[in-house]
Structure 1
């Protein structure tokens, strides 16, 4: 099995068939935490070995609350992945963050209920820091690529993660807005904190698909998919340039996340 994969990409809706990789190979894996969401596609892009895993499965059959986040992160770790790029779809909690724009989450609020958020189990207690849960090096690269391509990106966003798969009630949406959060989604937690625990750099490029229901217009899956469809090619273009932009040597602290974290 490959152990020299450098970059992992968690595809969301519309991204899993991005066709970024040359000489792709499908790898079926198992982990101590069960099977990942689907087979992992490994290939070469501009001399760098990349792994691609659709977090909802290739046929989009796994809802966000049932994704095996631990297995997905563990599988990437087993392949040698040290950087994860995680495209995602989000709703907007602010007027100025418009559908069709991109957003860069730097903080999160976790309102999930049933997800296992750690590899820490009986006999091994880990208290990692997620004060800054997203890798600053990858974030800097994302900002540069998106701006160079002339797209709108909202930086320093706080991401509200809800359990899903349902959308928010109006009362919930207005509450999330009252926290001064910027965007809302269903997948980045516990994905990002598990990556940190695995000492893997992780960052997301989020596509804004709609205004959340605070805007008095009910959110529909059809609306989300239509906006996503329009943005797929833009996201692919960002990923192509981003892979080239990410430094080959890590200068962040993500690789040292377990230092002084274990009891």
Structure 2
């Protein structure tokens, strides 16, 4: 049976959604979680008739570096306020000639090169879930949400790749040249600092999660090209972020157009089946 409840979509990233009138009736909401406080207040409102919640991953003042973001609190808070989906934006470097700066990528897999980040809710935190969750991560992202993003990008005729493996590094530094070349050899198409553990936690929370990556640079693997720097990343992101926002807004409409959402129940059932709990 399908799940006919109304959807509510969390948006992580937030940049590009400050257009007047786009986000209607915004209300700030402070949410605390068993895992601490999220990066910032949640901004609840409506985008073209669909209930949405925006959360700045790094805080609205960009005060949290990638390894210090409380990913668990962010995802838990979005679920706590009733989000069924999470659509995320992420700035990425390209590891592949064809994935040129200014293009979009609907990410479909990841390689985790982070360390020390809290990657599960199931760690005996007081107020958190019980047991140990051995969660399958293939597919890593919700295929329904990915399809909605892909359809939206095609309709806009934006330059977009509909698959891509992102290598998530620890940061906040960028890769060395040797690391960048290694990531290419591993089959990575993109490199960023935030997809993991965000995608893992969203799946563990039973949410539909997908991400649209905005390519800002070629990292440092290409010969005779200067290494990536913050100013170039920020300039490229600011120039093209509206594309990612357009795709997310259109994907929201696509997801909301369906009155049946059996995949949401399937996400939750997958988590339930992955939990080992001994009384």
TM-score exceeds 0.5: yes
Aligned to 1:258: 271
Distance in structure 1 (CA, Å) of the matches to 2:150 and 2:48? 21
Matched, 1:175 2:182: yes
Q: What is the match of residue 249 of structure 1?
A: 260
Matched, 1:163 2:170: yes
Mapping 1:60-139, distance limit 5 Å: 60-122=62-124, 124-139=131-146
1:248 CA drift (Å): 4.7
Quick one: distance in 1 between partners of 2:192 and 2:269? 28
Question: 244-253 or 119-128: which moved more?
Answer: 244-253
Correspondence for 2:127: none
SS of aligned partner of 2:133: coil
Is contact 1:196-1:257 (8 Å) kept? no
- Give the Cα–Cα distance (whole angstroms) in 2 for the partners of residues 86 and 212 of structure 1: 21
**Matched length:** 259
Residue ranges of structure 1 left out of the alignment (5+ in a row): none
> How far, CA to CA, are the matches of 2:176 and 2:94 in structure 1?
14
| TM-score normalised by L of structure 1 | 0.94
Deviation at 1:46, TM superposition (A): 2.4
The within-5 A match list for 1:130-209 is 130-209=137-216
Which stretches in structure 2 are left out of the alignment for 5+ residues?
Answer: 1-5, 125-129
Q: Is the Cα–Cα contact under 8 Å of residues 82 and 200 in structure 1 kept in the other structure?
A: yes
Distance in 2 separating the partners of 1:131 and 1:64: 24
Specify whether residues 147 and 5 from structure 1 end up closer, same or farther in structure 2 by C-alpha distance, changes over 3 A only: closer
Structure 1: 4+ residue segments shifted above 4 A: none
* Alpha-carbon distance in 2 for matches of 1:18, 1:86: 18
CA distance in structure 1 between the partners assigned to 2:240 and 2:145 by the alignment: 21
Query: Partner of 1:17 in structure 2?
Result: 18
Decide whether aligned partners of structure 1 residues 7 and 44 sit closer, same or farther in structure 2, where only a CA change above 3 A counts: same
The answer to whether the Cα contact below 8 Å between 1:16 and 1:53 also exists between their aligned partners in 2 is no
Q: Deviations over 1:73-124 (max 9, x none)?
A: 0001101111000011100000011000001111110000120100011461
Tell me how large the CA RMSD over aligned residues is: 1.5
1:18 to partner: Cα distance: 5.1
**Structure 1 residues 58, 16: CA separation in 2 closer, same or farther (over 3 Å shift)?**
farther
